[in-house]
Structure 1
Amino acid sequence: MRLDIKHWEMLNAIDRTGTLRQAADVLGITQSALSHRLAEAERRLGGLLFEREGRRLRQTPSGRSMTQTANQIIPALQRAEFDFQQMATNKTTVVRIGIAAYSCYHWLPSFLKVMSKKEPHIQLELVASATQNPLKNLQHGDVDVILAPGHLATPSIDSIPVFQDELVLVTHPKHKLANKPFIKATDLESEDYLTYSKSAQPGFEYERFIRPSGVVPHLVTVVEVTDAVIELISSNFGVSILSRWAVQSAIKNKTVSAVSLGKETLSLDWSALIRESEPASSAARMVSRRLAEWFKQ
């Protein structure tokens, strides 16, 4: 390796702060010392990491690639040190868990109670930010287990089946579609449709229910947080197709209603995703197995 850890820390700090001066403050050194460190890194690599534009720095294409790597390495090392300290002092293993697509946590307290009894050496931490980019967060080590609907697995990720769910149309309780035994895609033609995703996700409603019919809802609005989608529906600002399990608290409280999609319904499988590199006895795999056991019960 041509660079030392201090150089990778430098790249991470510059990217986070945007300037040499602020990066130097973060690292606890002078701006002059950081300038020398940057020059040293570029000399060792044999090329420029940044181009100077007055007082500002602009990443070169190769510098951007190095910075992206630094942004993966430094947080991973920091987490490794934190986990070591936790394990050394408390004899526990920290497993970070996130949820893909939906911001739903009604199940978490009950699962935490089970885990504290059955696996007291495992400490679970919720990573709410993993919802937006679950696979990226998993691959980069920001999260260890992702509870995910649909088919999100990639060649570097293992998928452990957890439970089967159903996609449903979610409406205001007094909406004209709320009391139907099921809906057809054509029922959406005149509706204001709310969605949490800007792109069509494989295995979800657009691919399996809406597109085959050729139907286009009257108005489609992207609301990136599912909690906000539920709030809007409960105020009769539109409808959406969502996981029944993910919105069951709102259904139980009767703030929204749920209607099946078609006579045969539209199933949705949930899985626990972990890195393929996880050993068979790892805490992440244990959490995944406990999730599957817990949902079956």
Structure 2
Amino acid sequence: MGVLERSHLTIIQEVAREGSLTAAAVRLNLTQPALSHAIRKIENLLEVKIWRREGRSLVLTQAGEWLLSLANRLLPQFELAENRLQQFANGERGTLRVGMECHPCYQWLLKVVSPYLERWPKVDVDVRQKFQFGGIGALFSNEIDILVTPDPLYKPGLIFTPVFDYELVLVVGPEHPLRGAKFVVPEQLAGETLITYPVPPERLDIYTQFLQPAGFGPRQQKQIETTDIMLVMVAHGRGIAALPRWLVEEYRSRFELHPVKLGKKGIAKQIFLGRRETDEEIQYLRDFIECAGSPSSACRQLSPESGT
């Protein structure tokens, strides 16, 4: 049996990800015959069948599935190691990779990133939203360095720090009958069209903390990716939404929007930043969390120490 190499794992991952040899060959900068030859070579070298044919498709065998899970764990760590070493070689401090599990948090994040970049001129910030294993898995697999989430999942090896408090509110347009209400109860939304981000209901607070415990749901749910379009729809009476109060207040100068409390007590939430315990000594990462929990002016006044 030959030696398993990183290039083998890359091929296995790309073929599985793209679903066809043609698309995988393009991603790998190979011709399709060259990729087919590489696949046969890997199987001969490892003395195990990794794929089987089903019609015109290649399907992973049990051994192939195991190798794919190995590739998904190891390849991001190779990438991280190479990036860090390149940064050291170039005299840079690094790149902070921020993962987002909070769709409406981009406007908040901009207010943090701008003063942070002024404070750390040799650090870049990369924001990612799609992960192979979800946000928590992305931290464990080194796809990201910090996870922005309103719903922390505490696991050994991870630390979550609350950095921002907010209230989740219902958002309605100027002609909506709930405009001006002190609060709403779940049954009042039973006939409504609820506009949400493209997130499963089990990860939306409007469902888990408000509607589902009372046994109600909206008449219809529409999913929209962008905050601007969502709020334009709400302002024109095409539905309602549930968003942070601070975000609604920021958009009220552009659209006529009316926030309404969800229930008598409202729904209080926090934004958390998650990180790996093993990264505690990386100062530019620690300072990002400090900046996130401080006013912008306070972040600018901090002076970074030397080293990483």
3-state SS of paired residue (1:117): helix
Cα distance change of structure 1 residues 105 and 247 upon mapping to structure 2, 3 Å threshold: farther
Which residue of structure 2 lines up, in the alignment, with residue 266 of structure 1?
267
Match of 1:198 among 197, 200, 203: 200
Query: What does 1:180-199 align with in structure 2 at a 5 Å threshold?
Result: 180-196=181-197, 197-199=199-201
3-state SS of paired residue (1:81): helix
Matches of 2:100 and 2:24, distance apart in 1: 33
Matches of 1:294 and 1:258, distance apart in 2: 25
Which residue of structure 2 lines up, in the alignment, with residue 221 of structure 1?
221
Q: Deviations over 1:228-285 (max 9, x none)?
A: 4323212211112222234442234343221112232210111001234323335333
Q: Deviations over 1:147-195 (max 9, x none)?
A: 2113444444321111211110011133111211222223213322223
Whether the 8 Å contact between 2:158 and 2:274 is mirrored in structure 1 is yes
Which residue of structure 2 lines up, in the alignment, with residue 134 of structure 1?
135
Whether the 8 Å contact between 1:164 and 1:269 is mirrored in structure 2 is yes
3-state SS of paired residue (1:190): coil
Matches of 1:230 and 1:88, distance apart in 2: 46
Give, in angstroms, the shift of residue 135 of structure 1: 2.8
Q: Which moved more, 1:163-172 or 1:287-296?
A: 287-296
Cα distance change of structure 1 residues 240 and 40 upon mapping to structure 2, 3 Å threshold: same
Matches of 2:55 and 2:212, distance apart in 1: 52
Whether the 8 Å contact between 2:18 and 2:24 is mirrored in structure 1 is yes
How many pairs were matched up? Answer: 294
Which residue of structure 2 lines up, in the alignment, with residue 207 of structure 1?
208
3-state SS of paired residue (1:105): helix
Which residue of structure 2 lines up, in the alignment, with residue 96 of structure 1?
97
Which residue of structure 1 lines up, in the alignment, with residue 246 of structure 2?
245
Which residue of structure 2 lines up, in the alignment, with residue 174 of structure 1?
175
3-state SS of paired residue (1:64): helix
Cα distance change of structure 1 residues 226 and 243 upon mapping to structure 2, 3 Å threshold: farther
Whether the 8 Å contact between 2:101 and 2:129 is mirrored in structure 1 is no
Amino acid at match of 1:201: R
Whether the 8 Å contact between 1:153 and 1:273 is mirrored in structure 2 is no
Whether the 8 Å contact between 1:12 and 1:74 is mirrored in structure 2 is no
Whether the 8 Å contact between 2:111 and 2:296 is mirrored in structure 1 is no
Give, in angstroms, the shift of residue 72 of structure 1: 4.2
Amino acid at match of 1:221: Q
Whether the 8 Å contact between 1:164 and 1:267 is mirrored in structure 2 is yes
Amino acid at match of 1:235: H
Matches of 2:94 and 2:121, distance apart in 1: 9
Whether the 8 Å contact between 1:173 and 1:254 is mirrored in structure 2 is no
3-state SS of paired residue (2:178): coil
Alignment gaps of 5+ in structure 1: none
Matches of 2:254 and 2:296, distance apart in 1: 21
Amino acid at match of 1:64: E
Give, in angstroms, the shift of residue 210 of structure 1: 1.8
Cα distance change of structure 1 residues 296 and 188 upon mapping to structure 2, 3 Å threshold: farther
3-state SS of paired residue (2:174): coil
Q: Which moved more, 1:36-45 or 1:177-186?
A: 36-45
Matches of 1:214 and 1:118, distance apart in 2: 49
RMSD across aligned C-alpha pairs, in angstroms? 3.2
Give, in angstroms, the shift of residue 55 of structure 1: 5.9
Whether the 8 Å contact between 1:200 and 1:207 is mirrored in structure 2 is yes
Which residue of structure 1 lines up, in the alignment, with residue 286 of structure 2?
285
Matches of 2:48 and 2:211, distance apart in 1: 51
Cα distance change of structure 1 residues 84 and 193 upon mapping to structure 2, 3 Å threshold: same
Identical residues among aligned pairs (%): 26
Which residue of structure 2 lines up, in the alignment, with residue 233 of structure 1?
234
Matches of 2:214 and 2:22, distance apart in 1: 57
3-state SS of paired residue (2:106): coil
Amino acid at match of 1:41: I
Query: What does 1:38-117 align with in structure 2 at a 5 Å threshold?
Result: 38-53=39-54, 56-117=57-118
Which residue of structure 2 lines up, in the alignment, with residue 163 of structure 1?
164
Cα distance change of structure 1 residues 53 and 238 upon mapping to structure 2, 3 Å threshold: closer
Give, in angstroms, the shift of residue 126 of structure 1: 2.0
Amino acid at match of 2:291: R
Alignment gaps of 5+ in structure 2: 299-308
Cα distance change of structure 1 residues 39 and 279 upon mapping to structure 2, 3 Å threshold: farther
Amino acid at match of 1:164: D
